[in-house]
Amino acid sequence: MVLYGLFPGYTRISSPFGKRHAPTGGASSYHYGCDIPAPQGTKLIAIHDGEITFLNFLGAGGYTLTLSFDNYKVSYCHIDPHFLVSVGDFVKQGQIIALVGPRNVYGVPGNFYKDEKGNPTNGATTGSHLHIGFRINNEYQNPMNFF
């Protein structure tokens, strides 16, 4: 399966899938996705036709959107909390579904992730980026195997 690109112009992987040194408190030493740095507000597009099945704050992933199709679940993490789609929406490949979120978010109940100044962050993050995670039949896969 060849999937549509995430966002043109941003291709550098700052943290690949697999074992790593956790960059911040609360981040896993095994990375279940890939991180692609991009400025806040960068448009994120649907990589495939599918249904939005999750849209909320999700711990280390911060604000997260899950796009589901066939036996795939693709999670876009650290997105902007001003959602462009809703759970239950069906989206088309190439459609803008979210924006890269800010590093800091405020007023999120239960968010214990903080930056070096003590300000609340958009999950376990050191800056604006997209964390993309792939699950097939609920097992994590390296996203770069699909691009």
Burial, 99: exposed, middle or buried (Cβ in 10 Å; 0-12, 13-18, 19+)? Answer: buried
pLDDT classification of 14: cutoffs 50, 70, 90: confident
Query: Domains of the chain by range and CATH?
Result: 18-146 (2.70.70.10)
pLDDT classification of 2: cutoffs 50, 70, 90: very low
CA–CA separation, 5 and 147 (whole Å) = 7
Mean pLDDT, the chain, integer: 88
Please choose, from the candidates 30, 24, 29, the residue with its C-alpha nearest in 3D space to the C-alpha of residue 62.
24
Provide the whole-model pTM: 0.88
pLDDT tops 80 at residue 64: yes
- Torsion angle of the four alpha carbons 45, 3, 27, 84, in this order, in degrees rounded to the nearest 10: 20
Interval 126-131 mean pLDDT: 90
Interval 68-90 mean pLDDT: 97
